Amino acid sequence: MLRLLDTAPPDGPRALRDRALLELLYSTGARISEAVGLDVDDLDTAERTVLLRGKGGRHRLVPVGRPALAALDGYLVRARPELARRSRGTPAVFLNARGGRLSRQSAWQALKTAAERAGLATSVSPHTLRHSFATHLLEGGADVRVVQELLGHASVSTTEIYTLVTVNTLREVYATAHPRALG
C-alpha cells in the first residue's frame, strides 16, 4: 500500500486528481462509487471529515487522514479549477478531462495505472484499498464495531471477514516469535 501511495505521479491536473483519489480511498475506506460520488460540499477540511453516501441511501461521516487532506488540497487548489473550466459548474470533487464527474471506470483505470507505475506485480482494485484500510485498522487495535461504522457495513458479520486476515497474521507472528509455538 505504501509503495502505491508513495510512488510519485507525473505532473499535471489529472495526476493530482488521481493522487487525491487514491489517498482518499485508502484514508477513508470509501467504495469507489462513494468516492466518485463526492461533491465539494461533502468535504469538511476544517473538521478533517468527509460525508460518504453508501449503499441503501445510508450516509456516514468518516475522518480523513493528513496525507489525504494534503493531496485533496493540492488537487482542489491547483488542478480542479483547470479541469472545471470545461464543465457547467458540476459540484463533483473528482472531475474528468471534460470537466464532468469522474466515472467509476476512469477511477479504476487511474488506480491500475498507479499500480503499474509503482511496479506492483499483484492485481490491485479499488476494493484492495478498502480492504487494506480495514485490515490495517484492525491490526492496529481498532474495535471491529468502529471499523464496521467506518466501512458503512449494515452487519458486523460483513466486517468480521477482515478479522480473518488479522487472525492469520497473529498466528504467523506467534509461530515465529513464541519459543514454544512449534512444540
Q: How far apart are CA 78 and CA 178, in angstroms?
A: 52
What residues pair up with 7 in beta bridges, in sequence order?
Answer: none
Radius of gyration from C-alpha coordinates of the chain: 18
Annotated active-site residue 31? The verdict is: yes
Is the separation of the CB atoms in 132 and 147 below 8 Å? no
Annotated active-site residue 180? The verdict is: no
Annotated active-site residue 80? The verdict is: no
Among candidate residues 3, 55, 145, 171, the one labeled active-site is 55
Is the separation of the CB atoms in 4 and 120 below 8 Å? yes
User: Tell me, what DSSP letter sits at residue 42?
Assistant: G
Among candidate residues 14, 53, 80, 130, the one labeled active-site is 130
Cell of 99: 470537466
Among candidate residues 17, 19, 80, 162, the one labeled active-site is 162
Annotated active-site residue 171? The verdict is: no
Among candidate residues 3, 19, 31, 85, the one labeled active-site is 31
Annotate 161-181 with b (16+ C-beta within 10 A) or e (fewer).
ebbeebeeeeeeeeeeeeeee
Among candidate residues 58, 86, 127, 145, the one labeled active-site is 127
Residue with cell 485533496: 72
Residues designated as active site: 31, 55, 127, 130, 153, 162
